[in-house]
Amino acid sequence: MYPQDLSALKDSQDLHASLDEEKPRIEAKLSPLEEKFKLLDEYSIGLKEDDVLRRNSVKEKWLEFAQMLDRIQTRNQKVSADLYNECMSNLGQFKKETEEHRLVFLGNAPFESLGLTNERAFATLAEYKDNTRALRRREDNMKFGFDLFKIDYQASPDLDFVDLSIKTLETVW
């Protein structure tokens, strides 16, 4: 099953890395195992039919396992590239949204008191504060992808600006 999201991709990559790390140790056990089977043959100790089948298929199964690891690595690389592109696209969209949020804030925030009551000014600021929090949550949710793909991302300066401006305006009002 293909990893469908960043968390599943990370789990798959971690599992693959663990199995790939174990591969040499497992492979090193195959020759001594074959030697033990040869000893059984030398002493004419008969094996059950199932044991003979397993013995004869060890190398084949090992090759299948190694090939499966290679297929998983290839699959993970493809899924990783797709999710990386999606992550970068989401980041670009997010940056546009935060810039738009800042511009709308600058155009509509209660910078002047003409025709505004304190209640209306605080209600407007609360609305921008809620929108900024929602954008921050999205930013936090995207950080897992940034970490996974080692994307150097700094917190949105647009959101920092809106946060600071809201605090200043709340003090002024």
Q: 40 lies in a domain?
A: yes
The whole-model pTM stands at 0.76
Reported as a single tens digit per residue, the pLDDT across 129-165 is: 999 999 999 999 999 999 999 999 999 999 999 999 9
Q: 118 lies in a domain?
A: yes
Angle at 65 between CA 59 and CA 68, to 5 degrees: 145
Q: 1 lies in a domain?
A: no
Residue 150 domain boundaries = 81-172
Same domain, 61 and 113: no
- Residue 113 pLDDT exceeds 90: no
Same domain, 167 and 86: yes
The DSSP H or E segment spanning 96 is helix 49-108
Reported as a single tens digit per residue, the pLDDT across 114-126 is: 888 999 999 999 9
Confidence grade of residue 43 (pLDDT, cut at 50, 70, 90): low
Same domain, 71 and 124: no
Same domain, 95 and 123: yes
Same domain, 91 and 129: yes
Please give the C-alpha separations between residue 87 and each of 5, 16, 134, 150, 153, in angstroms, as whole numbers: 11, 22, 18, 11, 12
Tell me how far apart the alpha carbons of residues 125 and 108 are, in angstroms, rounded to a whole number. 10
